[in-house]
Homo-oligomer: A and B are copies of this chain.
């Protein structure tokens, strides 16, 4: 098991597990890259499993946990009483914070267990001490729309405009969630070690090369 700085140099050995995190734009194939990379390297891959575990530990439904994850928390909202305006603490805020804390705990436990790949979930930030190898996957809009249409349920009928708005909307939420949670700017090249543009790319074809970075 090699720590980050020796992923390439093979010089220093230490006890920390090899962690790869995948940040991605919606529709860029980041999940597929993460899953295939984990198969190629023979290491664990965590994605939706984290939602399942949070749900178990908080007794909230998976759907509810996912909904919390999909929105960045709002601390307060204004309420009107008569003609007056009172900002009041969002009662959901505490619950949202406890879900985030559970997520942090779970991700930290998984990283301590074994080498693994984690998709999203601000894992690159949560696992800073592990010096993870941070990958960001992105693509141009046309390519993302194409991938989305290929994977969409059969009954989903969105116009190009609606699909474009959906993709942009999801990424905006991801950015706000990430920025709230980490104080960092989502998608900023400097927060990643490798940024992969999957426009024009068959993902399974590039996996062996990416995997070689870790051997």
User: How many Å lie between the Cα of A201 and that of B7 in the bound state?
Assistant: 9
User: How many Å lie between the Cα of A140 and that of B193 in the bound state?
Assistant: 11
From the candidates B138, B193, B202, name the one contacting A197 in the complex (CB within 8 A): B193
Residues in B neighbouring A14, C-beta threshold 8 A? none
User: How many Å lie between the Cα of A77 and that of B119 in the bound state?
Assistant: 53
Q: Are A197 and B189 in contact (CB under 8 A)?
A: yes
A200 at the interface (CB under 8 A from B): yes
Residues in B neighbouring A213, C-beta threshold 8 A? 206, 209
Count the A residues whose beta carbon is within 8 Å of the partner chain — how many? 28
Q: Given contacts A208-B212, A209-B213, are A190 and B194 in contact (CB under 8 A)?
A: no
CB distance from A140 to the nearest CB of B (A): 6
Q: Are B192 and A194 in contact (CB under 8 A)?
A: no
A205 at the interface (CB under 8 A from B): yes
A18 at the interface (CB under 8 A from B): no
User: How many Å lie between the Cα of A210 and that of B208 in the bound state?
Assistant: 10
From the candidates B138, B195, B210, name the one contacting A209 in the complex (CB within 8 A): B210
A9 at the interface (CB under 8 A from B): yes
Q: Are A200 and B9 in contact (CB under 8 A)?
A: no
From the candidates B190, B199, B200, B210, name the one contacting A138 in the complex (CB within 8 A): B190
Can you show 29 pairs from A to B with CB atoms below 8 A apart? Answer: A4-B200, A8-B202, A8-B205, A8-B206, A9-B202, A9-B205, A10-B205, A138-B190, A140-B190, A189-B189, A189-B195, A189-B197, A190-B197, A192-B195, A193-B196, A193-B197, A193-B199, A193-B201, A194-B194, A194-B196, A194-B197, A195-B195, A195-B197, A206-B213, A208-B212, A209-B209, A209-B212, A209-B213, A212-B212
